[in-house]
Chain A
Amino acid sequence: MCDSCGCNITPGNEHLVRAEGKQAISVLQSLMSENDRQALHNRQHFDQHGVLAINLMSSPGSGKTALLEATIEALQDDLRIAVIEGDLETENDAQRIRAKGIPAIQITTGTACHLDAHMVHDALHQLKLADLDIVFIENVGNLVCPASFDLGQHRNITLLSVPEGDDKPAKYPVMFRAADLMLLSKTDLLPVLDDFDCQRAEDYLRKLASTADVLTVSSKTGQGLETWLDWLTNEIKAHHNRLQNGQSLRPAIQPDGARLHKMHPSASQGRSLLLR
């Protein structure tokens, strides 16, 4: 075969065609593959110990920490809980959790606008997973970046508080598409902010082809808290069943990397439990 007329180039080696000393290499790898590898490792850690990991995301000030405080108060006698806190600065949130008698690891990111799998891995190793049932990861308050980073969690919960307005799912589609549960918080303010329509918020979410559950809650008054706690305990039970069948779970959003590895999120029907 000669090297000058191109007859030795086949469909199999076409992608390695040489031109002026340059060589093209086909890659087809996710830009997130480094993070995804670490996330998979984290997920395996959680699964080895039967721990359910939940990633809580929202704008700053939507009530993530308050929700955790109310949840801990209600469940700490029945469940062994730990929290990984993410903030740019301060230990404020971890201190609030520790005040409830629950272990909390604070990650201060400095300038990073989201948590990633490497940061969570370091925090994980400060926890005794064998002594835990559930780990909450309270992500950096930010509706833009956190959703793109798999941390090794099993479920994503996105909070949307009443003062923020009901059109946020339309304005921040990446974040809301990533949710397994959209939790409408600070519902005690609905009488005062009467232009917030819970159904409209859910409609915007559904237009993102989301089958996420939708609940409402007020950590202050306790509205919706029972339903939220039921959701949580059902998730723990469901996860134990999955683990017994040798399966794990990824959150709703399934990025390219996951598709390439053929991992399947579990099917959910998008229950809406809005009080009308």
Chain B
Amino acid sequence: MLWQMYRMHELSVCQSMLRQVQELAFENHARTITAINLQIGPLSGVEPQLMNQAFPIASRDSIAANATLVIETMPIRVHCDACNTDSDATMNDLSCRACGNTLTQLIGGDEILLTDIELER
């Protein structure tokens, strides 16, 4: 039951995405959408695998019904002002790997972007 609830979450994100895509298709006089490219980071709260599962359901009978959904998963990266270094980090440890400072800034890993779409007129 819990799993179904969380798939519903990605389903509503997918539906919102498809509304954006529909608008872009209309603006660009597209006949069909062939690809949708996303960048999703682990700290966004959206799970790529669940997006892939939700997409066929959300896109059925839409202009993106035959589109390929391509999701680039983004690395978690932090910037440290204390030692001026960028480092890779993990979900629950965003400390600087060079000096251990925990007051870092997130520079990658929470992306939830529609980067580009491919269409046919």
Enumerate chain A interface residues (CB-CB to B < 8 A). 15, 21-35, 111-114, 116, 144-145, 147-148, 169-171, 173-174, 177, 204, 206-209, 211, 253, 255-256
Contact = CB atoms under 8 A, between A and B. Distances in A.
Contacts of B46: 31, 148
Nearest to B117: A25
Interface residues of B, number: 42
A31 B9 contact: no
Given A113-B5, A113-B9, A144-B6, A31 B94 contact: no
B13 A31 contact: yes
A23 B43 CA distance: 31
Given A22-B120, A23-B121, A112 B103 contact: no
Interface of B is mostly: mixed
Q: Which 6 A-B pairs have the closest CB atoms?
A: A148-B45, A209-B94, A170-B92, A174-B45, A209-B104, A173-B92
A15 B115 CA distance: 12
Contacts of B19: 34
A27 B120 contact: no
A256 B112 contact: yes
Nearest to B12: A112
B103 A209 contact: yes
A87 B43 CA distance: 24
B95 to A, nearest CB: 6
